[in-house]
A = this chain, B = another copy of it.
Amino acid sequence: MTTVTVDQIIHAKWLIPCEDKRVLEDHALIVENGKILDILPSAKVAAQYSSPSVEHLSTHALLPGFINTHTHIGMNFFRGLADDLPLMEWLNDHIWPAERAWVNHDLVFDASLFAAAEMIRSGTTCFNEMYFFLNATAEATDQAGLRGHVGITVIDFPTAWAKTTDEYIAKGLDFYQQYKNHERITATFAPHAIYTVGEKTLVKVRDLAQEHGLRINMHIQETIEEIEQSIAFTKKRPLKRLQDIDFISPQLLAVHMTQLEEEDMEILHRHQPQIVHCPESNMKLAAGICPVNRLLNSGLNVALGTDGVASNNDLDMLGEMRSAAFSAKINAENPQALPAEQALQMATLNGAKALGIEGLTGSLTVGKSADFIAINLDEIETQPLYHPCSQIVYSAARQQVSDVWVAGERLMKKRELLTLDEKELIQKAKSWRQKIKK
């Protein structure tokens, strides 16, 4: 009897592909050359495969790594700097002054590396960033071993990163050229919002994104104030203005979308953008609740993001799934809205679809990249166990994520980070805090 020798064999009590609602029991994942070569019952492995690396995770669930579809990880050192404040006071008196004083390549690199540790520790394998100093974020992502989509932020006012709109775009295109062949790092466009980026700039971004085949991220209809201001200035709601300049397409990630009327729904159905839901940020800032149940039922793709830790205050996708389920049920007035299996799909496959990488990752599917995590369910808080998906969404905490792999590379083993130094990162965070606190 001959067997095929493979890189890794991981046996697990449960394997949750997140392609549909299936949960496989006592199955194994076969990893070869960074990809998923096979998924089969553990009992059948010995007849087909052998490996120098065989793992038995007998109390764990294996599932695709989480895809955090909206982040500002460069802000990670501003966590908890100012909470429980109205948006404009928070921005004007706390966040913007801190950014003006401190945001540079070094801060963004250190903050991104620190955030990478937080993401790995809570099972995120891919994130979608909007911030400044893109190279700093990309370098940290590369070092951590994560998959990162890095937004070319465009905004019609000067920051420490760029002085003019043209400079934002030029720097962004340089970044795109530099990373366009990187296996794990992908450029996107990220015009900030309709109240900070003019239509002329948006048209330019639209054309460049099309030319280079890039996704576009944008905060859209996040708050009632954004809508009111838009109507006051232009007599149109933001989505209508974007439609009028041919900005909305499946390439667009519309982030937040807490304010939706019939007119908006028609535009969404006509142009099929990706929706990114950030329930904790939207609740904490009292922005509103995105009607995800309605959007999903109407066939739109809705992904999940934490937003930045300055407004959330963590990068924990387990907590975000729970908040998404809670807020969907209360918003739809229906306890059946966003069940656990669907919340898991939002946090994985829907994120991959939103980023246009569902052929590469987002589910445990033969041929896809080996981006996956293990969650240990043998703890007091997740016992007894009747339904693994329910337990993961409604009861598990981030510390139960035990192991993380991206493209077959192990980034965490039994809670130990393999690409990053946890103690050093905490020291860095403390030393930045000393400066920022002033």
Q: Which of B86, B282, B336, B430 contacts A336 (CB 8 A)?
A: B86
**How far apart sit A60 and B314, CA to CA, in the bound complex (Å)?**
19
Please give the count of copies of this chain that the complex contains: 2
A104 contacts the other chain (Cβ, under 8 Å)? no
Interface residue ranges of A52-81 to B (CB < 8 Å): 77, 79-81
A284 contacts the other chain (Cβ, under 8 Å)? yes
Q: Chain B nearest CB: distance from A188 CB in Å?
A: 26
A199 contacts the other chain (Cβ, under 8 Å)? no
A42 contacts the other chain (Cβ, under 8 Å)? no
B-side contacts of A327, CB under 8 Å: 283, 330
* A interface residues with partner B (beta carbon < 8 Å): 77, 79-87, 90, 114, 117-118, 121-122, 280, 282-286, 288-289, 309, 312-314, 316, 319, 322-323, 325-327, 329-330, 332-337, 339-340, 378-381, 383-387, 390-391, 394-395, 397-399, 422, 425-426, 429-430, 432-433, 436-437
Contact A314 B381 (CB under 8 A): yes
A343: nearest chain-B partner, CB-CB: B84
B-side contacts of A432, CB under 8 Å: 384
B-side contacts of A430, CB under 8 Å: 383-384
Q: Which of B121, B282, B288, B330 contacts A381 (CB 8 A)?
A: B121
A417: nearest chain-B partner, CB-CB: B380
Contact A384 B436 (CB under 8 A): yes
Contact B391 A80 (CB under 8 A): yes
Q: Chain B nearest CB: distance from A143 CB in Å?
A: 16
Instruction: Report 27 cross-chain contacts, Cβ distance below 8 Å, ordered by A residue.
Output: A80-B384, A80-B390, A82-B386, A83-B340, A84-B340, A84-B390, A114-B380, A114-B383, A118-B380, A122-B381, A283-B327, A284-B326, A285-B335, A286-B329, A286-B333, A286-B335, A289-B330, A313-B391, A314-B394, A314-B395, A323-B323, A379-B426, A381-B398, A384-B432, A384-B436, A386-B437, A399-B399
B-side contacts of A380, CB under 8 Å: 114, 117-118, 121, 422, 425-426, 429
**How far apart sit A325 and B384, CA to CA, in the bound complex (Å)?**
29
Task: With A314-B394, A390-B83 as known contacts, state yes or no: A326 contacts B329, CB within 8 Å.
Answer: no
B-side contacts of A422, CB under 8 Å: 380
Q: Chain B nearest CB: distance from A90 CB in Å?
A: 8
